[in-house]
Structure 1
Amino acid sequence: MITGQLRTSIDKLWEDFWTGGITNPLTVIEQISFLMFARLLDITETANERAYQRTKRPYKRIFGPDQQHLRWHNFKEQKADAMLKIVREGVFEHFRSMAGSSTVGDYMADAQFMIQSPRLLVSAVNAIDALPLTAGDIKGDLYEYLLGKLTTAGINGQFRTPRHIIRFMVELVEPQPTETVGDPACGTAGFLVGAMEYLLEKHTSKQGVIVHEDGSRTYTGDLLKPYWKHIQADMFHGFDFDATMLRIASMNLLLHGVDSPDIHYQDTLNRSFPEKYPKQANDGFHVILANPPFKGSLAEEDVHPSLTGVVRTKKTELLFVVLILQMLKTGGRSATIVPDGVLFGSSKAHKALRQTLVEKNQLEAVISLPSGVFKPYASVSTAILVFVKGGKTEHVFFYGVDADGFSLDDKRLPAGETKNKSLGPSEGNDLYDALERWRKRGPRKDTDRRAKAFMVPAREILEKDFDLSINRYKEVTQSSVQHDDPGEIITKLEALEAEIAADLRNLRDMLG
């Protein structure tokens, strides 16, 4: 996480945008992303020039001889009015001309420069010029901090998944460096970034760990060298139908070390998806991590018939689970967040989906989350479904998360700030326990239905109409309550009443 002066600088930049008339958090992040992209292009060009001087190896120029004034280190020296004109008319036109040459460039084609104030542009350029964009250990955290300022829910049930929930889900499916990872509704690419961070941490030697003065660690991923080409260009795939989100997603991945992620503008529920992207739409991925939109319904004629053939519905939360099953390779696995209604809904479509998960695939886990996990975006109760495409379910692991390490109100403060500073890593946070029990699970061992974690055989789920709500299977122990004898209660009340009367008499005597 970022602290100190760097955090103060970001907060000041955010405040400058606000006072400059740009108050939509998504727009602020988008505009900052554009300027960060402009600086990164110049940094890349400078590095290429220096490499050429040493090796004389040819490279593809980003800026032509007549475009040198568009480079960050040149236009940042201009006066305010001249800088605004160069960025608005030159730099952004250059962005649009890059479409097809990079993932980020593809989403600059319709980019709009919203900064109208020369003073705001100068302030933003100065602030971004001071950011450590070349420090791989900081720039990812920097962008996460920016994304954390998205405090309002989007339309169609979109909202950002907390970083610690993403990490928990990544740990559940354990992506490997030889695999492909997808998200059919990627938003800002939090799950893809989470998978990348996991790979770096799990595939760094002891010598490859850099420990900083503040105790934080950077995982260099030095053991990933044989897989680096695959990771950079072929591993990560995301789709969304919000162009702003895609621009931010591409920048997010770029700042986390993924130079060429496969990010596309596409409604993956639409019938055009398998036609445009046949390899990704069917049997395309080893791992899918997703928190797809919950709200809204779609016109049936817009949805691909392969989805409605499994569940005849317009509800997006059901269609996305079917879509994910189609997108996975046989044996591929997914951790997907769904609203609680998916677990127990009584419609034919709800039951058909659950039956498909249990009887035609391997439903491995239902992990219920507390309702405050997604505040302040939404208070909806949710669960994480963990499943494998193909096979047949034998037992399902159930776990009820009561606390995730943060307060469950709109403030979402860390547990240590709401209780005491000495809380250990697992106190006030069930996710540690859930992960440990998941890894050690076993149908013969996890039989106590009164525990937080237990396993249920598939035949019992079938008998209960494929209901997947944890309360349907959990046993609640009712402790006996000892009551005082009514006569003793009356005697205590009379004694208390006499004591009060005596106090009142003493008070009256004192008043004369």
Structure 2
Amino acid sequence: MITGEIRNKIDWIWTTLWTEGNTNPLTNIEQLTYLLFIKGLDEIELRKEKEANFLGLEYKGLFSEMPADFNDLQKKHWPKMRWTQFKQLPAEEMHQVMVSTIFPFIKTLGGKEDSAFSKYMKDASFLINKPATLQKVVTSLDSIQMEERDTKGDIYEYLLSKLQTSGTNGQFRTPRHIIKMIVELMKPSPEDSIIDPAMGSAGFLVAASEYLRKYHQDLFLVQGLKEHFHNTMFYGNDMDTTMLRIGAMNMMLHGVDAPNIEYRDSLSEDNKDAEKYTLVLANPPFKGSLDYESVSNDLLKVAKTKKTELLFISLFLRILKPGGRAAVIVPDGVLFGSSNAHKAIRKEIIENNKLEGIISMPSGVFKPYAGVSTGIMIFTKTGTGGTDNVWFYDMKADGYSLDDKRMKIEANDIDDIIVRFSNLDKEKERKRTEQSFFVPVDEIREQGYDLSINKYKEIEYEELEYSSPGEIIDYIQELEDEIVIGLNELKSLISEG
């Protein structure tokens, strides 16, 4: 989470945009994203130039060569393009450089016309129309230290929290620490093909790329794996072009050159993906309801339903390769809902695939957006079954208060969850009264495929010893005698007065 100082600066920027006529929250986030993007680009280039200089190597970066199609005005602006120069310009000139040169330049940064970045930047517009407002925002953004990737991510999440809405189809902005936990549970490998079919700002894809940079640095030394990382590892779909633009910029700022980001309704007939990916990381829309006609027919074969949260699980099973894994956030209703569709989807995962774990999360995790109770479902597509014992974990704290303020606190189960899931062999002797435990698949069958942790968790009650009725009566009598004595003393004091 961001510090109070940074929070105050972002709030000030937000208020500045709002009071000067920019009242659409998503538009404001988009405009600030552009500025964060060009600031981040310059920081990346400066770092690469410094490294090349240290090694005595020549470096040809984004700003090494002026584009051949620049007009006279753009050629004049070229030396002022980089943030280090741009931020020092007078208001009028800053606005002119941004609108006529920088913004057209970043719109084509994806290189190929059909790249994810170029495709969704094509229709983008820069909408901070007052030079003085732009200068205020640039100056304030420049004062925020953002060298740390986590800080950038925290600022991004805080900006998204300004939406204060769950969206028409029940989308929720997934907290970054929950995303990071899920990625660390799944441990992406350099060979994985990773998809989020409801990607939003691409949080899961960014976290997976960061995990690989941290734990598999050697992949960048192997040409085939390096090419895979930049071109064929990351996939994301969404139906909001603004979020696609934000997601594409987010991925590029985190060093993924050409992510496969598509404008697509993942649940429709237009999505033909099948057995294509090895890892699904997702927080699909909750509480949405679609017409049967708008849903791909093969998704309805598993469970005939209009509920998006169930349809997405059917989709995950279809798009995963055999042996592919999924870690997805689902509303609690998916785990224990009693409708035929709810039971059918759970039965499909348990009987025909391998359900590995259910992590029950507290209801405050998604505040301030909503107080919905959710869980994380982890499974592997096998097509032949394989579920034997399912691991359950009762998360009680995620490091933040579970109210709307979400203040940082000491209580945090995340590290424990990661360690325990990584060492499941040591979990076999755990009792049902503990925070995590195994449940055999036969017992889950007996319970109608109910995956609610409360169905299997045992509560240990402490035996309390109560005094006998006679002792209680004696104690009450003593209290009454003391009251009478006190009243008599008070009465005598009043009469003496």
TM class by shorter-chain length? 0.7 to 0.9
Is residue 484 from structure 1 mapped to residue 467 from structure 2 by the alignment? yes
SS in 2 for 1:334: strand
| 1:67-109 per-position Cα deviation (integer Å, ceiling 9, x unaligned) | 2337635766665345445544665455556672643332222
2:190 aligned residue = 177
| 1:104-160 per-position Cα deviation (integer Å, ceiling 9, x unaligned) | 332222223332322111112333455667x4xx25522432322433123111121
Going from structure 1 to structure 2, the CA distance change for 1:56 and 1:479 (only over 3 Å counts) comes to closer
Is residue 473 from structure 1 mapped to residue 456 from structure 2 by the alignment? yes
Going from structure 1 to structure 2, the CA distance change for 1:332 and 1:97 (only over 3 Å counts) comes to closer
Partners of 1:442 and 1:57 in 2: CA distance: 51
2:268 aligned residue = 270
Going from structure 1 to structure 2, the CA distance change for 1:39 and 1:101 (only over 3 Å counts) comes to farther
1:114 aligned residue = 127
Going from structure 1 to structure 2, the CA distance change for 1:442 and 1:93 (only over 3 Å counts) comes to closer
Mind listing any 5+ residue stretches in structure 2 that lack a counterpart?
none
1:9 positional shift: 4.7
1:147 aligned residue = 157
Going from structure 1 to structure 2, the CA distance change for 1:39 and 1:200 (only over 3 Å counts) comes to closer
Is residue 331 from structure 1 mapped to residue 323 from structure 2 by the alignment? yes
Opposite residue 35 of structure 2, the aligned amino acid is L
Partners of 1:47 and 1:72 in 2: CA distance: 17
Opposite residue 234 of structure 1, the aligned amino acid is T
2:213 aligned residue = 200
Residue 80 of structure 1 is aligned with which of 64, 72, 91?
Answer: 91
- Equivalences for residues 83-94 of structure 1 within 5 A: 83-84=94-95, 87-88=98-99, 91-93=102-104
SS in 2 for 1:164: helix
User: Is the 1:240–1:266 Cα contact (8 Å) retained in structure 2?
Assistant: yes
1:64 aligned residue = 69
Mind listing any 5+ residue stretches in structure 1 that lack a counterpart?
204-220, 275-280, 417-427
User: Is the 2:391–2:436 Cα contact (8 Å) retained in structure 1?
Assistant: yes
1:335 positional shift: 0.6
Going from structure 1 to structure 2, the CA distance change for 1:157 and 1:57 (only over 3 Å counts) comes to closer
Going from structure 1 to structure 2, the CA distance change for 1:463 and 1:49 (only over 3 Å counts) comes to closer
Give percent identity, aligned residues only. Answer: 45
Going from structure 1 to structure 2, the CA distance change for 1:15 and 1:273 (only over 3 Å counts) comes to same
SS in 1 for 2:252: helix
Partners of 1:489 and 1:43 in 2: CA distance: 74
Partners of 1:503 and 1:471 in 2: CA distance: 52
1:63 positional shift: 6.5
1:28 aligned residue = 28
User: Is the 2:81–2:102 Cα contact (8 Å) retained in structure 1?
Assistant: no
Q: TM-score, normalised by structure 1?
A: 0.83
1:297 positional shift: 0.6
| 1:345-396 per-position Cα deviation (integer Å, ceiling 9, x unaligned) | 1111111101100111001111111111111111111111000001411111
- Equivalences for residues 67-466 of structure 1 within 5 A: 67-68=74-75, 69=77, 72-73=81-82, 79-81=90-92, 83-84=94-95, 87-88=98-99, 91-93=102-104, 100=113, 102-129=115-142, 135=147, 138-151=148-161, 152-155=164-167, 156-203=169-216, 221=217, 224-226=220-222, 227-274=225-272, 281-390=273-382, 391-392=384-385, 393-416=387-410, 428-442=411-425, 445-446=428-429, 448-466=431-449
Aligned CA-pair RMSD: 3.2
Going from structure 1 to structure 2, the CA distance change for 1:301 and 1:270 (only over 3 Å counts) comes to same
Opposite residue 365 of structure 1, the aligned amino acid is G
Q: TM-score, normalised by structure 2?
A: 0.85
Is residue 503 from structure 1 mapped to residue 472 from structure 2 by the alignment? no
- Which stretch shifts more, 355-364 or 2-11? 2-11
User: Is the 2:157–2:175 Cα contact (8 Å) retained in structure 1?
Assistant: no
User: Is the 2:427–2:437 Cα contact (8 Å) retained in structure 1?
Assistant: no
Going from structure 1 to structure 2, the CA distance change for 1:225 and 1:505 (only over 3 Å counts) comes to farther
